[in-house]
Amino acid sequence: MERVRINASRAYDVVIGRGVLDTVGDELSHLVKSRTVAIVADDVTYPLFGARTKASLESAGFYTCEYIIPHGEESKSAENYIRILEFLAERGLSRTDCLVALGGGVVGDLSGFVAASFLRGIPFVQIPTTLLAAVDSSVGGKCAINLQAGKNLAGAFYQPSVVLCDTEIIGSLPDDIFSEGMAEVIKYGAIRSEKVFGLIEDGARENLGELISECVRIKRDVVCEDEFDTGLRQLLNFGHTPAHAIERLSDFKISHGAAVAAGMCIMSRAAEKLGLCEAGISDEIEKLCKKFSLPTTAQFSAKDMFAVAMRDKKRALGKITLVIPRTRGESVLYTVSEEETEKFFALGLSEGE
């Protein structure tokens, strides 16, 4: 079992290891003063892990209540946000009570925003049950819901009290769900770590604990330097500008991980064609994505993707900061005009050839 300390505005541990789920009661008993815990999960995750979570909490003396949402990106909505707030208020939770997010990125993002705003902030715990959530969305304090205009447009920066990452759960994920998380793992390798590429090549499932720890350490270093996403933290958005457009244009039928994979390949191809990175980088990223049966392009036009990207929260003063890989294990921020963004997409989609 490993603990990675995150020294953000609220310091907390990310605990990584087999059987960590069964320690949630003990962990919370040292972190919160009250004895009421609300568990938020979806209708897939709760039947699998809800009983174990409740048993651990109740054995440590906590009273629990549960709110279950439908699985899928559509649940990260303003309607569910309000419903959970009303649920917590009806149950009489106080500012010292706690919310536990049990699930993937949708559950974690939604629950974090609820915790950040209920009674102006209550403690919450992330228990990621997907690889994508373990290496990315559960760490760093970003939480949000989607609006009709776009993804993650209402939210907050709000750090959890602890993140409990059970490698036994994540290691047992089916291949398609595991592969979605590998898109974010590949991202960490591309932006900052040749070691990640080596661990993937040696076997992602076989090196799962070390792989998750390395990704969390990378995110820790970036977040601690730029918690509120005004500079360096934007590196974590590699592939995400086109990815959010792809998700939206597909009406979220294309998952976040698949969209990120396609987005990274699009950005890499464009960067290489413009001479902004070493030759062969785009091929390497594309090869890794294909290894996990992830898409490497999108069927949407650069024009349509650009139109959606212009509603993205990353746009400022008529410009967008893109992330491009420069060498193996190193990426840089690259600010372009709105017009150049569409051209970038076109090159990455091979429309510009």
- Hey, how many other C-beta atoms are within 10 angstroms of the C-beta on 114? 27
Q: What is the CATH number of domain 175-348?
A: 1.20.1090.10
Domain with CATH 3.40.50.1970 in the chain: 2-171
From the options 3.40.605.10, 3.40.50.1970, 3.40.50.1220, 3.40.50.920, give the CATH code of 2-171. Answer: 3.40.50.1970
C-alpha–C-alpha distance, residues 314 and 295, integer Å = 24
Per-residue model confidence as pLDDT tens for the chain (353 residues): 899 999 999 999 999 999 999 999 999 999 988 889 999 999 999 999 999 999 999 999 999 999 999 999 999 999 999 999 999 999 999 999 999 999 999 999 999 999 999 999 999 999 999 999 999 999 999 999 999 988 899 999 999 999 999 999 999 999 999 999 999 999 999 999 889 999 999 999 999 999 999 999 999 999 998 898 888 899 999 999 999 999 999 999 999 999 999 999 999 999 999 999 999 999 999 999 999 999 999 999 999 999 998 877 666 667 889 999 999 899 999 999 888 999 999 999 986 44
Q: In what order do the strands lie in the sheet with 36-42?
A: 2-7, 11-17, 162-166, 124-128, 98-103, 36-42, 63-69
Torsion sign over Cα 190, 195, 201, 207:
negative
pTM for this predicted structure: 0.93
Q: Which residues of the chain does CATH 1.20.1090.10 include? A: 175-348
Beta bridge partner(s), residue 38: 65, 99
